[in-house]
Chain A
Amino acid sequence: MLLKQFIFILLITSGVSGQAVASEMITIGWLENVRIDDSEYRLKAKIDTGADNSSINAEDVTEFSKEGEQWVKFSLRNAWNKHYTITKPVIKTTRIKMKNGNVQQRFVIELEVRLGKISKLVKVNLVDRSHFKYQLLIGRSFLEPQFLVDSSRTFTVTDK
């Protein structure tokens, strides 16, 4: 068991998982557990090569002004029904055209997302994903330089 774990970590740290692919690229599954903002708060994330950017299911979104800047406070709820409150400055507000033709307004914030040993500051759209199974969707802007996605695998990365 220990040996298995050691080999797994070795594979992850050497940037090669399962096979010889482009050097220093990490192969991950289409579902992974990530941590938010240096905390121990865990979210199940869907890794989506079809999405440009990342988005997160934000509940109780309240906008407020702080020293002339636009801020937002919202709540996350993960698959284990635990809540986590985040307060962040708004980087921008985007208008997203939905597949049904409707236009939605979304706040964009910057979030530190940690996947295994790699942590990245990533722009995240605040959306209502309450009708979806996964609260966080990770798009190409997060994945681009380091990660390859193997859609036959899930939860390949551990941060232990």
Chain B
Amino acid sequence: MTKNRMPENRILENKIPEKAIIGWREWVSFPDIGIDKIKAKVDTGARTSALHAFNIEQFTDNGQQMVRFKIHPLQKDNDYIVVCEAVVIDTREVTDSGGHCEKRFVIETAITIGNETFSVEATLTDRDTMKFRMLLGRTALEKRYIVDSSKSYVLSKKLNR
């Protein structure tokens, strides 16, 4: 009996990738660049993820393209600033929801959502009219999550407490 069941289970697992439900807002963190709490808008309307940064400056470290930038991780606290450094993996033309095209640095860094940590690409933008300081786009979502737009903080309740 058990012998027969084994392969069936394996086939089922291959066919149906397990994806977690994520709300349209989640608290996330970026452990490698020192951001331990930032509210992200989960946005299927955007391909790439974006971080709202300011004082963005490019520099070279041992021949590697780097970027130094500042972030206000908390929407209501502009006195709280985190200074971040990350490797630049690309510069990209990005069109925002207002139709404006902008050249942005792209960084790759680890993101933690709930119990999971994985690598994510994000563009840096200094548009300070962005209500959310972090947008989580389709590329970051597609392998792991399905969005329930009727819910918020599905994966990050513990972090929020």
Q: Please give the residue numbers on chain A whose beta carbons come within 8 Å of chain B beta carbons, in ascending order.
A: 18-19, 21-22, 25, 27, 30, 46-51, 97-101, 131-132, 137, 140, 143-145, 147-152
> Do A49 and B147 touch (CB < 8 A)?
yes
B146 in contact with A150 (CB, 8 Å)? yes
- How many cross-chain pairs have Cβ atoms below 8 Å apart between A and B? 88
* Interface residue count on the B side (C-beta < 8 Å): 32
Question: Is B18 touching A149 in the complex (CB atoms < 8 A)?
Answer: no
A76, chain B: closest CB distance, angstroms: 19
Complex Cα gap A148–B141 (Å): 13
- Beyond the given pairs A49-B147, A97-B129, A149-B147, 8 more chain A to chain B contacts, judged by CB atoms under 8 angstroms and listed by A's residue number, are A19-B19, A21-B21, A22-B21, A47-B44, A99-B129, A100-B129, A149-B44, A149-B149
Question: What are 18 sample pairs from A and B whose C-beta atoms fall under 8 A apart?
Answer: A18-B16, A19-B16, A21-B146, A27-B146, A30-B138, A46-B45, A49-B44, A50-B24, A51-B45, A51-B97, A97-B129, A100-B100, A143-B149, A145-B150, A149-B147, A151-B138, A151-B142, A152-B141
* In contact, B41 and A149 (Cβ under 8 angstroms): no
Partner of B44, one of A30, A97, A132: A30
- A99-B150 CB under 8 A given contacts A50-B24, A151-B44, A152-B143: no
* C-alpha gap A140/B44 in the complex (Å): 11
| Residues in B whose Cβ lies below 8 Å from that of A137 | 45
Q: Are B18 and A98 in contact (CB under 8 A)?
A: no
- Among residues 53 to 108 in chain B, which have CB atoms less than 8 Å away from a CB atom of chain A? 96-100
Judged by a CB distance under 8 angstroms, whether B32 is at the interface is no
